[in-house]
Amino acid sequence: MAVYAIGDIQGCYDQLRQLLDQIGFNPDQDKLWFAGDMVNRGPDSLKVLRFIKGLGSRAITVLGNHDLHLLALSQQVDKHKDPRHTLDQVLNAPDRDELLHWLRHRPMMHHSKKRNFSIIHAGLPPQWDIPTALEHAAELEAVLRGDNFHDYFQDMYGNLPNRWDPELEGMERLRFITNCFTRLRYCTTDGSLSLKESGAPGSQDPSLIPWYEMPQRTSRDSRILFGHWSTLNYGEHNNTWSLDSGCLWGGALTALRIRKKKPPVPHQIECPKNMQPSKNHGQALT
């Protein structure tokens, strides 16, 4: 059995199917891990959701910021007022309720002891090791799967609080957890989240450090897969692997075969340009 981790798809269904053909994915034997952001900006979010949902237990999918945005829109919460989203096809689909219920029950983080890998969408703050991160992921998952999930989306958006404190409560705690798992790229030197910068390392303010390079990061001995950062592209960084290679923006779609003892093996297909309605990709929903 092979396990492949795949970066941000964002509605690029044809490219996903081409990549699976290239790696020879066998749904009867192999498994796929998806790093979140299955939907939005690309042309076929509905097809992507239906396909991945149809894989059943052969697919593990963590939630990204665009996936949460879809769920917020389904609750009539649209604080971004983003005219570029391509989510109406999902919101107007005859099976929308079934798809959204399935999406709402996806994890924020997955850890495989057997494979010795974890997968998240964005990043971890330096204060969290893997067991701690899994505990906080479970907190947020319980809210998303509960009866009061609508109230969560009303207050999900925002950049504060930006530093972890175990005493955080209520929506401040949930918002911090959300921002780590779905939006984090850089931290300040004191370990606070910096959520506005989305450029590649080297372009940021000198006071900012990629989350995976934080010297006091307590998860540094754990192997972590993540997406979200298209300007970073695919690569290995301090025991982490970035999977978002910018398919939506004319880059590539990446699948990484993960193994417990041997190094991961990347596979990629090139993606066409102009699949998104706007080339200004660093502004909203970062």
Tens digits of pLDDT across the chain (286 residues): 899 999 999 999 999 999 999 999 999 999 999 999 999 999 999 999 999 999 999 999 999 999 999 999 999 998 777 777 899 999 999 999 999 999 999 999 999 999 999 999 999 999 999 999 999 999 999 999 999 999 999 999 999 999 999 999 999 999 999 999 999 999 999 999 999 999 999 999 999 999 999 999 999 999 999 999 999 999 999 999 999 999 999 999 999 999 888 889 999 999 998 776 654 433 346 6
Nearest Cα neighbor of 248 from 123, 125, 85, 102 is 85
In a 3-state reduction of DSSP, which class is residue 87?
coil
167-196 in b/e form (b: 16+ CB < 10 A) is eeeebebbbbbbbbbbbbbbbeeebebbbe
**Sign, Cα dihedral of 275, 276, 279, 285:** negative
Q: Which pTM was predicted? A: 0.95
Distance CA 248, CA 183 (A): 18
CA dist list (Å): 254 to 139, 184, 194 = 30, 20, 26
Q: Which two tokens stand for residue 100?
A: 């959204």
Distance CA 184, CA 172 (A): 16
Distance CA 286, CA 270 (A): 23
CATH architecture classification, 3-182+219-270: 4-Layer Sandwich (3.60)
Give 117's strand partners: 112
- Find tokens 């020879």 and name the residue: 24
**Residue type present at position 197:** E
